[in-house]
Amino acid sequence: MALSKLTSLFVLSNALLGTAIAASSSGCKANAALPQDQTPGVAFTQSDGTDRNYLIHIPSTYVSTTPAELIFSFHGHGAKASDQEDISQFSNATFNPNGIAVYPQGKKESWQGAPYANKSINDIEFVKDMISNFTETYCIDTSRIYASGMSNGGGFTATLACDPSVNTQIAAFAPVSGAYYIKNSTACEPTAIEVPCDKGDRVVPVIEFHGDHDTTIPYGGEGKSGECLPEISHFVRSWSGRDGLGLENKTTYDMYDGSVTRSMFPADSSDPNFGLVQHYKTAGLAHKWPSMDTTNYDATPIIMEFFGNHTL
């Protein structure tokens, strides 16, 4: 069955949203079997009935009566879902022992919002339909659905965070080395360009990672593919501002043996919203997901801790 048809069949109850306690989806049923050919602890590729595909990892701890968190991880331009599973490690039980991880495959290996993406493809609707499908099929805690992504997938993660029809279903967002393309009618000014985002009323938690040696999506921003890439700290401050946290931050230098400068918004550490928006600037890191293979720390457990602190 096409996911477009699933939308009307598997609609999340509003009663399941906006709660800090485990919110069981309709897929939470005693002795419910996994779909055919799906077993806990095995990653596999399946189709939704159209030509959209995703890789999904069911943890070995999964039971059909215990609501699990759901994590989406989006690949970069030119990459595949399996590549994203390898670099993000959300299927690694050391980092994510209990959550279901989903690695969607982009059409033409790209995601909505980038200038090279297929303009006829609505990836936002694809994500919403997947949420509807998964919450019906699996026992999901609908207050703990999360999104992350790399490069173009990181930019798409930010696009989802800016959509009120999605950010009321996804609790927190973690773009990594994100490509935040902005349409501009004048010269690209990376430190001053307005970062458009109509996120609605919700205060949206965001944690962002970027390397200062990234030449693909430069930290300082640039004009690229006919659009403008913002300077990354400007992009993060814009998020803090639209969340009502102000533009000032508390900065911690020389973390992880001097490789990371961390910015936490708002600046007042006694504020109950302290750390709602975070940024990790990694010295010497190119266009990579921070890991022990690319730098001297792993971003994934930091992301998992951030996700664990935020529910709908």
Give me the pLDDT at residue 45, please. 56
Q: What is the pLDDT of residues 86-116, one digit of tens each?
A: 999 999 999 999 999 999 999 999 999 999 9
34 — pLDDT class (breaks 50, 70, 90): confident
* % residues pLDDT > 70 (the chain): 90
DSSP of 106-137: -GGG--TTSTTS-TT--HHHHHHHHHHHHHHH
Peptide bond into 40 cis (omega under 30): no
Higher pLDDT, 95 or 20: 95
Q: What is the pLDDT of residues 285-310, one digit of tens each?
A: 999 999 999 999 999 999 999 999 99
Give me the pLDDT at residue 229, please. 98
Q: What is the pLDDT of residues 149-167, one digit of tens each?
A: 999 999 999 999 999 999 9
CA 11 – CA 137 distance, rounded (Å): 12
Give me the pLDDT at residue 23, please. 86
Please give the DSSP secondary-structure letter assigned to residue 141.
E
Q: What is the pLDDT of residues 245-292, one digit of tens each?
A: 999 999 999 999 999 999 999 999 999 999 999 999 999 999 999 999
Query: Is 220 in contact with 181 (CB distance < 8 Å)?
Result: no
Q: What is the pLDDT of residues 35-69, one digit of tens each?
A: 877 777 766 555 455 678 899 999 999 999 999 99
CATH of domain 3-9+21-308: 3.40.50.1820
Q: What Rg value do the Cα atoms of the chain yield, rounded?
A: 19
Q: From the CB of residue 305, how many other CB atoms can be counted at a distance below 10 Å?
A: 11
Mean pLDDT of the chain: 90
Contact partners, residue 95, CB within 8 Å, separation at least 6 = 89, 298, 300, 301, 304
Query: Is 286 in contact with 213 (CB distance < 8 Å)?
Result: yes
Please give the structure tokens belonging to residue 142: 């609908």
Domain regions of the chain by residue span: 3-9+21-308
Q: What pTM does this model have?
A: 0.90
Query: Tokens 């664990």 correspond to what residue?
Result: 308
Strands 227-229 and 250-254: unpaired
